[in-house]
Amino acid sequence: MAERSTIRHKLYKIIFEAETPAGKAFDVLLLVLILSSVVVVSLESVVSLRRQFLPVFQVLEWTFTIIFTLEYFLRIYTTPKPLKYVFSFFGIVDLLAIIPTYLSLFILGSQYLLVVRVLRLLRVARIFKLTRFINEGQVLTKALRASFTKIAVFLGTVLLLIVIIGSLMYIIEGAASGFTSIPTSIYWTVVTLTTVGYGDIAPQSALGQVLASVVMIMGYGIIAVPTGIVTVEMSRSDKKIAPTRVCPNCHREGHFEDASFCYNCGYKFEEFVKPTS
Amino acid sequence: MAERSTIRHKLYKIIFEAETPAGKAFDVLLLVLILSSVVVVSLESVVSLRRQFLPVFQVLEWTFTIIFTLEYFLRIYTTPKPLKYVFSFFGIVDLLAIIPTYLSLFILGSQYLLVVRVLRLLRVARIFKLTRFINEGQVLTKALRASFTKIAVFLGTVLLLIVIIGSLMYIIEGAASGFTSIPTSIYWTVVTLTTVGYGDIAPQSALGQVLASVVMIMGYGIIAVPTGIVTVEMSRSDKKIAPTRVCPNCHREGHFEDASFCYNCGYKFEEFVKPTS
Amino acid sequence: MAERSTIRHKLYKIIFEAETPAGKAFDVLLLVLILSSVVVVSLESVVSLRRQFLPVFQVLEWTFTIIFTLEYFLRIYTTPKPLKYVFSFFGIVDLLAIIPTYLSLFILGSQYLLVVRVLRLLRVARIFKLTRFINEGQVLTKALRASFTKIAVFLGTVLLLIVIIGSLMYIIEGAASGFTSIPTSIYWTVVTLTTVGYGDIAPQSALGQVLASVVMIMGYGIIAVPTGIVTVEMSRSDKKIAPTRVCPNCHREGHFEDASFCYNCGYKFEEFVKPTS
Amino acid sequence: MAERSTIRHKLYKIIFEAETPAGKAFDVLLLVLILSSVVVVSLESVVSLRRQFLPVFQVLEWTFTIIFTLEYFLRIYTTPKPLKYVFSFFGIVDLLAIIPTYLSLFILGSQYLLVVRVLRLLRVARIFKLTRFINEGQVLTKALRASFTKIAVFLGTVLLLIVIIGSLMYIIEGAASGFTSIPTSIYWTVVTLTTVGYGDIAPQSALGQVLASVVMIMGYGIIAVPTGIVTVEMSRSDKKIAPTRVCPNCHREGHFEDASFCYNCGYKFEEFVKPTS
How many contacts does B have with C, using Cβ atoms within 8 A? 148
* pLDDT for position C123: 83
pLDDT tens profile A126-165: 776 655 555 666 667 777 777 777 788 888 888 988 999 9
CB contact under 8 A, B45 and A246: no
Cα–Cα distance for residue pair A209/A212, rounded to 1 Å:
5
- Which residues, given as ranges, of chain D have pLDDT below 70? 1-2, 108-111, 128-139, 236-277
How close does chain D come to A20, measured CA to CA in Å? 23
Give, in degrees to the nearest 5, the angle at Cα B206 between B205 and B209. 85
Report the SS3 class of residue C258: coil
Are C85 and C8 in a shared domain?
A: yes
Are C121 and C142 in a shared domain?
A: no
**Residues on chain D bordering chain B, Cβ-to-Cβ distance under 8 angstroms:** 195-199, 227, 231
Contacts 24+ apart (CB under 8 A), A8-12: A8/A77, A8/A78, A9/A78, A11/A74, A11/A77, A11/A78, A12/A78, A12/A79, A12/A80
| C195 neighbourhood in chain A, CB within 8 Å | 195
What is the sign, positive or negative, of the torsion defined by CA atoms of D216, D220, D222, D226?
positive
pLDDT tens profile C164-192: 999 999 989 988 888 999 999 999 999 99
Is the pLDDT score of C47 beyond 50? yes
Which of B195, B198, B227 faces D227 most closely, judged by CB atoms?
B227
Residue A10, CA distances (Å) to A5, A70, A74 in order? 8, 17, 12
Nearest CA in chain D to B43: D206
| Chains contacting chain C through 3 or more C-beta pairs under 8 A | A, B, D
Mutate to test the interface with C, among B187, B189, B216 (most CBs of C within 10 A): B216
CB contact under 8 A, B190 and A227: no
Are B123 and B143 in a shared domain?
A: no
Are D76 and D159 in a shared domain?
A: no
Residue A268 lies in a domain: no
How does residue B131 score in pLDDT terms, banded at 50, 70 and 90? low
Averaged over C207-232, what is the pLDDT? 88
What single DSSP character describes residue B266? -
Are C82 and C183 in a shared domain?
A: no
CB contact under 8 A, C194 and B198: no
Residue B83 lies in a domain: yes
Are D25 and D84 in a shared domain?
A: yes
Q: Where are the alpha helices (DSSP H) in C79-205?
A: 82-86, 89-106, 111-116, 122-129, 133-146, 148-173, 182-193
Cα–Cα distance for residue pair D198/D179, rounded to 1 Å:
14
Nearest CA in chain A to D165: A118
Q: Which of A128, A159, A176 is the last residue of a domain?
A: A128
Q: Is C134 exposed, middle or buried (0-12, 13-18, 19+ CB in 10 A)?
A: middle
Nearest CA in chain D to B195: D196
Which of D197, D227, D231 faces B197 most closely, judged by CB atoms?
D197
Are C98 and C48 in a shared domain?
A: yes
CB contact under 8 A, D199 and B195: no
Please, which residues bridge with residue D140 across strands? none
CB contact under 8 A, C198 and B198: yes
ipTM comes to: 0.79
Are B91 and B173 in a shared domain?
A: no
Chain centroid to CA B38: how far? 17
Averaged over B160-188, what is the pLDDT? 90
| CATH number for the domain that contains residue D175 | 1.10.287.70
Residue C232 vs residue A248, higher pLDDT? C232
How does residue A39 score in pLDDT terms, banded at 50, 70 and 90? very high
Nearest CA in chain B to C125: B157
Q: Helix D21-44 to helix C182-193 angle, to the nearest 10 degrees?
A: 100
Are A155 and A54 in a shared domain?
A: no
Give, in degrees to the nearest 5, the angle at Cα B265 between B263 and B271. 75
pLDDT tens profile D236-262: 654 444 444 555 666 655 444 445 555
| B45 neighbourhood in chain A, CB within 8 Å | 170, 181-183
Residue B246 vs residue B35, higher pLDDT? B35
Q: Which of B102, B128, B154 is the last residue of a domain?
A: B128
Contacts of D157 (CB under 8 A, 6+ apart): none
Nearest CA in chain D to C218: D194
Cα–Cα distance for residue pair C12/C71, rounded to 1 Å:
11
Is the pLDDT score of A186 beyond 90? yes
* pLDDT for position B237: 57
| Structural domain boundaries, residue A35 | 2-128
Contacts 24+ apart (CB under 8 A), C263-272: C264/B251, C272/C245, C272/C248
Mutate to test the interface with D, among C232, C236, C251 (most CBs of D within 10 A): C232
Is the pLDDT score of C18 beyond 70? yes
What single DSSP character describes residue D242? E
* pLDDT for position B35: 92
Strands (E) in chain B, as ranges, are 241-246, 253-256
Cα–Cα distance for residue pair D32/D26, rounded to 1 Å:
10
| CATH number for the domain that contains residue C41 | 1.20.120
Contacts of D26 (CB under 8 A, 6+ apart): D14, D15
Residue D248 lies in a domain: no
Are B92 and B151 in a shared domain?
A: no
Are A124 and A146 in a shared domain?
A: no
| Chains contacting chain B through 3 or more C-beta pairs under 8 A | A, C, D
Please, which residues bridge with residue C241 across strands? C256
Report the SS3 class of residue D248: coil
Cα–Cα distance for residue pair D255/D261, rounded to 1 Å:
9
Contacts of B179 (CB under 8 A, 6+ apart): B169, B170, B173, B185, B188, B201, B203
Residue C202 lies in a domain: yes
Cα–Cα distance for residue pair C87/A209, rounded to 1 Å:
40
Are C114 and C209 in a shared domain?
A: no
CB contact under 8 A, A194 and D217: yes
Which of A160, A171, A216 faces B191 most closely, judged by CB atoms?
A216
Nearest CA in chain B to D232: B231
* pLDDT for position D239: 44
Total structural domains within chain B: 2
Residue A255 lies in a domain: no
Residue C268 lies in a domain: no
How close does chain D come to A276, measured CA to CA in Å? 18
What single DSSP character describes residue B254? E
* pLDDT for position A157: 85
How many contacts does A have with B, using Cβ atoms within 8 A? 157
Cα–Cα distance for residue pair C63/C76, rounded to 1 Å:
20
Cα–Cα distance for residue pair D277/A183, rounded to 1 Å:
46
Amino acid letter, residue C44: E
Cα–Cα distance for residue pair A37/B82, rounded to 1 Å:
68
* pLDDT for position C249: 65
Asked if residue D174 lies in contact with residue D143, where contact means CB atoms within 8 angstroms, the answer is no
CB contact under 8 A, A232 and B233: no
Cα–Cα distance for residue pair C101/C113, rounded to 1 Å:
8
| A189 neighbourhood in chain D, CB within 8 Å | none
* pLDDT for position D136: 64
Q: Helix A47-78 to helix A2-16 angle, to the nearest 10 degrees?
A: 140
Residue B66 lies in a domain: yes
pLDDT tens profile A66-99: 999 999 999 999 988 889 999 988 888 899 888 8
How close does chain B come to D201, measured CA to CA in Å? 13
Q: Is C176 exposed, middle or buried (0-12, 13-18, 19+ CB in 10 A)?
A: exposed
Residue A246 lies in a domain: no
* pLDDT for position A36: 93
Contacts of A82 (CB under 8 A, 6+ apart): A76
Whole-model pTM: value is 0.81
Q: Which of B128, B159, B176 is the last residue of a domain?
A: B128
